[in-house]
């Protein structure tokens, strides 16, 4: 028709149809392929939900066993890739390391990454699920200046990840089952969230015919921003700053309401949820339990609860439907587990990977996939002549 609607931030524009994830933001409902997130978080495993998201149904025991086995067999990174990590500055942010290394990983598989070849697509789902946690742990080790460990493929997905992060050379690493279970639950909660900024990025890159590595590394970069996945890191920094400044929580909330220096309550608000984020409900409920089981007493958890209580009873937050989102309480738990703050968003990325892969595959299979190419409203100068010389 020639009519172009202006929709900043895509508030009113659906970019795709999808069968993967359903959200009702008014009611605070999240379902994957029809299954409520609460049931998946309580009963399922990370890889089972990954399969569900990617292939559409819960796997049979045989399918899940084979999927798990294949992933275990593909955890090793090419030895040359290790040199890549040592070339990066020691203070590099782990999210930048994760995204760059994902790009670098693609160079080993450029002749095995044809988006139109279903075998390549399935194989790269396995490769990315197997290798990204290893890269993530290496990013953590790089930040700590510690030696890398090789994956131990006798361990499950989350257990292997914990060992790679916290194990040290020449000492056996004892898995803490409480920690493994808690981390698995958190990862499940992050697996997919329909057309958020990073997933939309993955789909846009996919729409050009680019492969899964290209799309996922772009998705990681999109996730890194503080308004998206970077919020979990920002929440912990915010809590630390309030504590260190000696400012009261109530005074901080006043500054947020007055929009002083553009300060926001990080971990609050959501484009889609106008009610309590169902993921945040589960995270909050498990925070006390996990900290207690890990024997950690962190005053930042009490501070987070106080912030929530003050905010939820305040007209500013009530009238704007601002509730805690998934990032509000996760950081306190990651900290209790021993992860440094700069690694928090990397954990989000590892959690979100199955969603990105599922959405990439749906985009690619459907070929609803015209190339993504938004329009603009031009508001610059009309035609004018270059000055005569």
- Is residue 327 near ligand CMC by the rule CB under 6 A? yes
Q: Which is nearer to ligand CMC, 184 or 327 (CB)?
A: 327
**Rounded to an integer, what distance in angstroms lies between the CA atom of residue 388 and that of residue 141?**
60
Q: Which of 18, 99, 106, 196 binds ligand CMC (CB under 6 A)?
A: 196
Specify the residue, 139 or 266, whose C-beta has the smaller distance to ligand CMC. Answer: 266
Among residues 167, 267, 351, 354, which is the contact residue for ligand CMC, using CB under 6 A? Answer: 267
Binding mask 63-102 for ligand CMC (x = CB under 6 A): ----------------------------------------
Distance of closest approach, residue 370 Cβ to ligand CMC, in angstroms: 26
Report if residue 274 touches ligand CMC, rule: CB under 6 A.
Answer: no
Residue of 192, 193, 270, 277 marked catalytic:
270
264 binds ligand CMC (CB under 6 A): yes
320 near ligand CMC (CB under 6 A): yes
Catalytic residue among 152, 327, 366, 385: 327
In degrees rounded to 5, what are phi and psi of residue 52?
A: -55, -45
Residue 336: other Cβ atoms inside 10 A: 22
For residue 289 the two structure tokens come to 């339990």
Q: Active-site residue 78, yes or no?
A: no
Contacts of residue 246, Cβ cutoff 8 Å, sequence gap at least 6: none
Q: Note whether 216 binds ligand CMC by CB under 6 A.
A: no
For the bound state, the minimum distance from the C-beta of residue 371 to ligand CMC, rounded and expressed in Å, comes to 25
Residue number with CB closer to ligand CMC (67 or 268)? 268
**Quick check: is 80 catalytic?**
no
b/e code 183-205 from CB counts within 10 Å (16+ = b):
bbbbbbbbbbbbbbbbbbbbbbb
For position 355 contacting ligand CMC by CB under 6 A, the verdict is no
Q: Which of 271, 274, 281, 305 touches ligand CMC by CB under 6 A?
A: 271
The minimum distance between CB 257 and ligand CMC, in angstroms, equals 8
With respect to ligand CMC, which residue has the nearer C-beta, 9 or 89? 9
Beta bridge partners of 24: 29
User: Going residue by residue from 226 to 245, which x/- string records binding to ligand CMC, judged by CB under 6 A?
Assistant: -xxx-x--------------
Judged by beta carbon, residue 262 or residue 381, the one nearer ligand CMC is 262
Residues with a catalytic annotation lie at: 270, 327
Q: Which spans of this chain sit near ligand CMC (rule: CB under 6 A)?
A: 9, 196, 227-229, 231, 256, 264-271, 320, 322, 325-327
């Amino acid at each position: 028709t020639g009519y172009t609607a202006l929709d900043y931030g895509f508030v009113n524009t659906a970019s795709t149809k999808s069968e993967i994830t359903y959200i009702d933001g008014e009611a605070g409902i999240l379902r994957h392929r029809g299954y409520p997130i609460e049931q998946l978080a309580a009963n399922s495993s990370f890889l089972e939900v990954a399969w569900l998201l990617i292939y559409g149904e819960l796997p049979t025991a045989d399918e899940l066993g084979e999927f798990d086995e294949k992933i275990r067999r593909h955890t090793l990174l090419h030895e040359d890739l290790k040199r890549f990590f040592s070339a990066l500055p020691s203070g590099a942010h782990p999210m930048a390391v994760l995204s760059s290394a994902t790009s670098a990983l693609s160079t080993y598989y450029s002749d095995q990454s044809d988006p139109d070849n279903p075998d390549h697509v399935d194989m790269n789902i396995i490769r990315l699920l197997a290798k990204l946690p290893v890269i993530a742990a290496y990013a953590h080790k790089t930040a700590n200046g510690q030696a890398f460990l090789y994956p131990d493929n006798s361990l499950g997905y989350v257990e292997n990840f914990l060992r790679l992060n916290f194990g040290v050379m020449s000492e056996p690493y004892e898995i803490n089952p409480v920690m493994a279970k808690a981390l698995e639950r958190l990862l499940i909660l992050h697996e997919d969230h329909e057309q958020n900024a990073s997933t939309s990025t993955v789909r846009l890159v996919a729409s050009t015919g680019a492969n899964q590595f290209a799309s996922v590394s772009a998705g990681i970069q999109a996730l890194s921003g503080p308004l998206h996945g970077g919020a979990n890191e920002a929440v912990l920094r915010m809590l630390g700053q309030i504590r260190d400044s000696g400012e009261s929580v109530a005074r901080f909330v006043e500054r947020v309401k007055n929009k002083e220096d553009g300060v926001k309550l990080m971990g609050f608000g959501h484009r889609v949820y106008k009610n309590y984020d169902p993921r945040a409900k589960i995270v909050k409920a498990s925070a006390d339990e996990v900290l207690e089981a890990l024997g950690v007493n962190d005053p930042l958890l009490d501070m987070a609860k106080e912030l929530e209580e003050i905010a939820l009873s305040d007209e500013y937050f009530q009238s704007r439907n601002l509730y805690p989102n998934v990032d509000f309480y996760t950081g306190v738990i990651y900290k209790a587990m021993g992860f440094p703050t700069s690694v928090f968003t990397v954990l989000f990325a590892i959690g979100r990977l199955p969603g990105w892969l599922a959405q990439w595959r749906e985009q690619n299979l459907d070929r609803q996939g015209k190339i993504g190419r938004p329009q603009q409203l031009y508001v610059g100068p009309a035609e004018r002549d270059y000055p005569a010389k």
